[in-house]
Structure 1
């Protein structure tokens, strides 16, 4: 997938919008997949993207957070955390599957299928330039921003 064009996709997003990749041609798109709204790691990750949002915007980057949660859950999470970017609701896992982020994980000793925390950077021509899988939250968003600034 790296260095290849990402097929167009769309999914319902917060603020009554639909995120369509093709509509962001000419911009850098940062897509981060996270397991669940309002959980500690996902909240911290979103807050980090929120806090550096101005720097991403300054270099022409759009941020989209995606999980399998409902739009209602996303709207509450976004409002509570004051995220300046949209969250996409991938309830049917179509976009998760496109990026291959659905994994079997251990949770409290049980095998569960869930979203692997991952981030993808798509350049202005729609080509995937970088991916991070199995992300650890501390320092990650700064690393993504540093990479985006090189494009």
Structure 2
């Protein structure tokens, strides 16, 4: 199953921080940013989450919900969210259901060893639930701004 720009994103339900269960279809009527990061409380992921946190009011202004996703357990996600003061929910995707839906599990190399891990990626879904934009192999610096601009442009056009 491959996600295609302009096509509906299949519905998913996953456990999230704050004793929440996130179901994509419940967010219809809002734009949704789903960003995938390799591991909670690591430097790049902390920076990326902080960049989204610091722009939350701007995302809210254009009717956009931000969701972070990694394979960390719910307790690790809760700790990460609390420690960094994230003002959006983090999804715990231990069984990789959401990761596989968005095809972000890739073969990676660390210290010469290959392993399967999350490729830092972000997806923008419109208020009707269609995939509008995707960023793969994301570099953290400036990324949240680029996603915000895309969300603003999408909102202005709707």
TM-score surpassing 0.5?
A: yes
Structure 1, unmatched stretches of 5+, are: none
After TM superposition, give the deviation of residue 108 of structure 1 in Å.
Answer: 1.1
Partner of 1:41: 44
After TM superposition, give the deviation of residue 2 of structure 1 in Å.
Answer: 1.2
Partner of 1:79: 82
Residue deviations 1:88-136, cap 9 Å, x none?
0000001100000000001111101100000000000000000000000
In the alignment, does 2:122 pair up with 1:119?
Answer: yes
Within 1, Cα distance between the matches of 2:6 and 2:121?
Answer: 17
- SS of the equivalent of 1:149 reads helix
Pick from 51, 61, 64 the counterpart of residue 64 of structure 2: 61
Pick from 96, 101, 107 the counterpart of residue 98 of structure 1: 101
- SS of the equivalent of 2:82 reads helix
Q: TM-score, normalised by structure 1?
A: 0.99
Q: TM-score, normalised by structure 2?
A: 0.95
Within 2, Cα distance between the matches of 1:85 and 1:36?
Answer: 17
Which segments of structure 1 move beyond 4 Å, counting only runs of 4 or more?
Answer: none
CA RMSD of aligned residues (A): 0.4
